[in-house]
Amino acid sequence: MTTPLLEVENLTKYFTLNDDIVSRIAGKSRTLKAVDDISFSINAGETLGLVGESGCGKSTTGRLITRLIEPTSGAIRIGGEDLLAFDRPRMMAARKQMQLVFQDPYSSLNPRKTIMQILGRPLEIHEPATSWRDRRERVLELLNLVGLGREHIDRYPHEFSGGQRQRIAIARALAVNPALVIGDEPVSALDVSVQAQILNLFRELQERLQLTYLFIAHDLSVIRHISDRVAVMYVGKIVETGPVSDIFAAPLHPYTRALMAAVPEADPDMPAPKLMLQGEVATPIDPPPGCRLCRRCPIATPNCETDPPPLREVAPAHFVACHNL
């Protein structure tokens, strides 16, 4: 078996709230379990879609993998090497292998820099030996790669539309030839007609450059479209993971099922969105020890409150964390 490009093991990030001395003495500190003991891996050339509702920890997961924030515990391995053991210079080098594309192309590009400066910057940092002329040549190549023209190189971000800005953000991520691209809701801010262009661009680039994607999104139809495998998160936990076709054809976890039933399909002949869960999303602050869904779950049993359900393999490569399946 080949080593996966990215392996995440028991990754955990807790944030302490009310962490001042008074609260600590009074015992009022609380723990927000943003990401709680999750494990997954992504093979080279594969797309893993990470899906869930706001606050489930999917963006935190993306940031932990790039070490933009430090995990509380767990292991992250890229190409078999332990990322968390890296010192600063080695981490810098490792970042060349994994690049992020953010949601909002209006705030992720510096408005005072030209496209040449924005796209040239990662090259200056990671390949300081390249001459200005070579860098410019490479930036032109990148623009061409993402479907922009040579004439765009000396313009500023405000001269571009949302979709074009997202192309620039993608070009910046690709500037250092990464193996892994983490997209954190990269198409959520775009209108559907432009969203389709950017999704196609992601796919095309993956085929041309053999990229590996971790694609974080809340939109199930986008996840369905782009992913090979899917991991569904709910309040800091992965509740179900498996091949995209399995998950969408036969979702098993009560949360996955509820999520899918709630999506309004753009077709009046399809069933209308249904409600399958009562109440609201549980809070990640001092959650109960058992399953995070237990209080909303239609098939919950008493042990769901107390025992955390482990991920079990129910079909080849299809894992579900539920006591009652």
Partner 1 sequence: MMGNTPQGGIENIVADTALSIQDLTVRFHLKRGILTAVDHISFDIARGETFGLVGESGSGKTVTARAIMRLLPTPPAEIASGRVVLDDQSVYDLSSEELRAIRGRKIAMVFQEPMSALNPVFTVGAQMTDVLRTNLKMSRAEARERAVELLQLVGIPSAGSRLGSYVHEFSGGMRQRVMLAMALSCNPGFLIADEPTTALDVTIQATILELIDSMIHRLGMSLLFITHNLGVVAHSCDRIGVMYASHLVETGTTRAIFANPQHPYTVGLLESIPRLADQKRYLTPIPGTVCNMLEPPQGCKFHPRCPHAMDVCREQAPPLREVAPGHLAACHLHAMATV
First to last CA, the chain: 30
Q: Which of 61, 66, 99, 195 binds partner 1 (CB under 8 A)?
A: 195
Q: How many whole angstroms separate alpha carbon 290 and alpha carbon 307?
A: 4
**Per DSSP, which regions of the chain are E strands?**
6-17, 30-42, 47-51, 73-78, 81-82, 98-101, 180-184, 212-217, 229-234, 237-243, 312-315, 318-320
CA nearest to 188, candidates 160, 212, 223: 223
Tokens of 134: 């070579």
x-or-dash string of contact with partner 1, 2-41, rule CB under 8 A: ----------------------------------------
Least separation in angstroms between residue 248's CB and partner 1 is: 6
Strand order in the sheet with 98-101: 98-101, 180-184, 212-217, 47-51, 229-234, 237-243, 318-320, 312-315
Of the candidate spans 28-36, 65-73, 92-100, 187-195, the one that interacts with partner 1 by CB under 8 A turns out to be 187-195
DSSP state of 128: T
Q: Which of 16, 107, 221, 324 binds partner 1 (CB under 8 A)?
A: 221
- Residue closer to partner 1 by CB (options 33, 165) is 165
Least separation in angstroms between residue 280's CB and partner 1 is: 6
Please tell me whether residue 209 binds partner 1 under the rule CB under 8 A.
no
Please tell me whether residue 53 binds partner 1 under the rule CB under 8 A.
yes
Please tell me whether residue 157 binds partner 1 under the rule CB under 8 A.
no
Please tell me the total number of residues recorded for the chain in this structure.
325
Q: Which of 27, 54, 88, 302 binds partner 1 (CB under 8 A)?
A: 54
Distance from chain centroid for Cα 322 = 23
Least separation in angstroms between residue 192's CB and partner 1 is: 5
Q: How would you class 230 by CB atoms within 10 Å of its CB: exposed for 0-12, middle for 13-18, buried for 19 or more? A: buried
- Residue closer to partner 1 by CB (options 78, 293) is 293
Residue whose structure tokens are 């661009």: 201
- Residue closer to partner 1 by CB (options 120, 284) is 284
Contact 157, 118 (CB under 8 A): yes
Q: How many whole angstroms separate alpha carbon 34 and alpha carbon 58?
A: 9
Of the candidate spans 3-11, 61-69, 84-92, 275-283, the one that interacts with partner 1 by CB under 8 A turns out to be 275-283
Please tell me whether residue 57 binds partner 1 under the rule CB under 8 A.
no
Least separation in angstroms between residue 212's CB and partner 1 is: 18
Please tell me whether residue 224 binds partner 1 under the rule CB under 8 A.
yes
Least separation in angstroms between residue 242's CB and partner 1 is: 16
DSSP annotation string for 5-29: SEEEEEEEEEEEES-SHHHHHHT--
Neighbours of 107 (CB within 10 A): 10
Least separation in angstroms between residue 134's CB and partner 1 is: 31
Please tell me whether residue 199 binds partner 1 under the rule CB under 8 A.
yes
Please tell me whether residue 295 binds partner 1 under the rule CB under 8 A.
no
Q: Which residues bind partner 1 (CB under 8 A)?
A: 53-54, 161, 163-164, 191-197, 199-200, 203-204, 218, 220-222, 224-225, 245, 248, 258-270, 272-275, 277, 280-281
